[in-house]
Amino acid sequence: MEIAVISGKGGTGKSSISSAFISVAQSAVAVDCDVDASNLYLLFSPSCKEEQVFVSGHHAVINYEKCTNCGLCVDICRFDAIVSIDGKVQISETSCDGCYLCSRICPVQAIKMIPADKSRLYAGTFRYGDMVYGRLAPGEDNSGKLVNLLRDKAKKYAEDYGYETVILDGPPGIGCPVISTITGVDRVVIVTEPTISGFKDMQRAVDVACKFSLELFVIVNKYDLNKVVSKQIDVWCEERNIPVVAHLPFDNQIVDAMVVGKTIIEYNQDSEISRLIHDVYYRIVKG
């Protein structure tokens, strides 16, 4: 079973809940799909047994032995990645979109395209099983493709080592990596918070998930910080037959646990919020 935990925005507590789910599951493949800012590995400290180069695209480089500094490439670059400084043409690696145009129009063929190969896919073991995560280098593209590779690797681990559960900690928002995270999973859990922005962004995440006809659940985290908005979320979900499976209270122990590198389940399994997370996990698994 693949369970994807996502949120419409950052800061809702998504990763805290997904990591707690992993603790409850006890044996699972954990996947950090937030390749732009992965952080699940900070909590679980997996041993790295595999590192794979991810070529996200290409970027332009100049052969200065050929370059005449004519400035034609500066004029045609639509991404402002090429500038002339003190009469010398320079290309910003992070701004280059890899469109190939400059390399094709250069009259002396001084520009060539090379692979953008600074991104990585990692796999390793941790205290509950195996973990897969990636890091997309600054300025590099194709985050959705990298997430697909992470999921393929996680599925292979699940098949090879007999894991019944794969838990995906998705990125916030509704962009390409989110779509790659939720496509074809068995359960989607959307974690929201009782703020206006949290409510609106949850609606957008629900709209995306519904287009894939996925089994969907909502968790309202820190519900007691604004019970009025929490109620609005409940009503909105009820009108659309979307189950709100948990209202989790704000609890400083979540932060305390994170500081010492533990999930809330590991930090205090007898706390109210730990019991709630334990119960909601099995409710989601049963569907």
Q: Where do the domains of the chain lie, and which CATH numbers do they carry?
A: 2-55+119-286 (3.40.50.300), 58-116 (3.30.70.20)
pLDDT of 11 over the 80 cut: yes
The rounded distance, in Å, linking the Cα atoms of 30 and 48 is 14
**How confident is the model at residue 184, as a pLDDT?**
94
pLDDT of 66 over the 90 cut: yes
pLDDT of 268 over the 90 cut: yes
Stretch 154-177: mean pLDDT, rounded? 96
pTM: 0.90
Burial of 62 from C-beta contacts in 10 A (0-12 / 13-18 / 19+)? buried
Strand order in the sheet with 2-7: 47-54, 119-126, 129-135, 28-32, 166-172, 2-7, 187-192, 216-221, 244-248
pLDDT of 43 over the 90 cut: yes
DSSP-assigned beta bridge partners for residue 3? 167, 187
**How confident is the model at residue 94, as a pLDDT?**
86
Q: Cα-flanking dihedrals φ and ψ of residue 143, to 5°?
A: -60, -35
**How confident is the model at residue 40, as a pLDDT?**
93
**How confident is the model at residue 234, as a pLDDT?**
97
**How confident is the model at residue 158, as a pLDDT?**
96
pLDDT of 287 over the 80 cut: no
Could you report the per-residue pLDDT of 102-144, keeping only the tens digit for each? 999 999 999 999 999 999 999 999 999 999 999 999 888 899 9
Share of the chain above pLDDT 70, in %: 100
Query: Mean pLDDT for the chain?
Result: 95
Report the Cα 31 to chain-centroid distance in Å.
9
